[in-house]
Amino acid sequence: MNFAVVGDPIEHSLSPEMHLAAFAFAGIEASFERWRVGPSGFPEVVSALRTGQLDGVSVTMPHKRNAYEAADDLSPEAARSGAVNSVVRAGAVLRGFNTDIAGVRHAFSLLGVQTEAPVRILGSGGAARAAAVALEGHTLLVSARRREAAAELATSTAVPAEWVPWDEGRAGCVIVNATPLGMHGEVMPPQLTEGAVGVIDMAYSDAPTPLVSDAIERAIPVADGIDMLAGQAVEAFRRFTGIRVPATVFERAARAR
């Protein structure tokens, strides 16, 4: 079995380490490579899948929309999110999934907060749409730079959400950072975590992001980007192999890198 993670840049991706650890745990012989694929190169990935060179791919930026459009069959959640980050070849059919949704749900479960807690999503792109679908049923607030972007997120995912200005504080919420901010040390407005009951940071880096560090200092329950990655990897691996491996296997491999 042959798999790859595709994107540009790709060097920072933890997918190979996580999935190779899961293959070893499950006793499966398989490869998992990094494929650097430029903005116009996704047709090469599709060709590799259709010809059997690859059995499946994990997809990172900038190709999640390309994968969505290339898939022959979309899971219902991938269709609602408008993005695909896992493609599996099933005979002649390419099946597209958005496993970020499972990752967000896993991260939320680690917080230990009340299941009905309101959620404030930072951002309005693909990661934010995945978070909205994942946490449907909560009272959702969306902080995007533009009110129109928040409204488009709610419309495209069919998940009701209220726009809240980026710099406005709202106590009692779980904060979900669905932007890349923090990966390179960017600091969030301090009012975002004032009164927060939990924090999920979908961004990750070698060191804790400023948002994660702020939550820890304030004794707010927090799940970081690796927690989220581990949760999505569980679902991606299940789609690749039909086997469910514990999230701890993926998390240990990612944190050991």
* CA proximity to 58, closest of 77, 125, 49: 49
d(CA 149, CA 115): 27
Instruction: For residues 244 and 234, give the distance between their C-alpha atoms in angstroms, rounded to a whole number.
Output: 6
Strands 73-74 and 93-97, by their bridges, are parallel
Query: Hey, what are 65's tokens?
Result: 């929309």
Helix (H, G, I), strand (E, B) or coil at 44: helix
Catalytic annotation, pick one of 64, 89, 95, 138: 64
| Residue whose structure tokens are 């710099």 | 167
Pairing of strands 222-223, 93-97: unpaired
What letter would DSSP give residue 96? E
Mean pLDDT by 10 residues, the chain (257 residues): 93 91 97 94 96 96 93 95 95 96 96 88 92 94 90 91 88 92 82 91 87 93 95 97 97 91
> Which three-class secondary structure state does DSSP give residue 78?
helix
Q: Which pLDDT score is estimated for 182?
A: 79
Give catalytic status of residue 104 as yes or no.
no
Contact present, 181 and 205 (Cβ < 8 Å): no
**From the centroid of its chain, how far is CA 45?**
20
Judge contact between 220 and 194, C-beta under 8 A: no
Question: What is the layout of strands, in order, in the sheet containing 31-36?
Answer: 31-36, 2-7, 56-59, 86-90, 93-97, 73-74
The tokens describing 225, both together, are: 């980007």
Per this entry, what is the length of the chain? 257
Domains of the chain: 2-99+227-256 (3.40.50.10860), 113-220 (3.40.50.720)
> Which helix (DSSP H) or strand (DSSP E) does residue 134 occupy?
helix 126-134
pTM for this prediction: 0.93
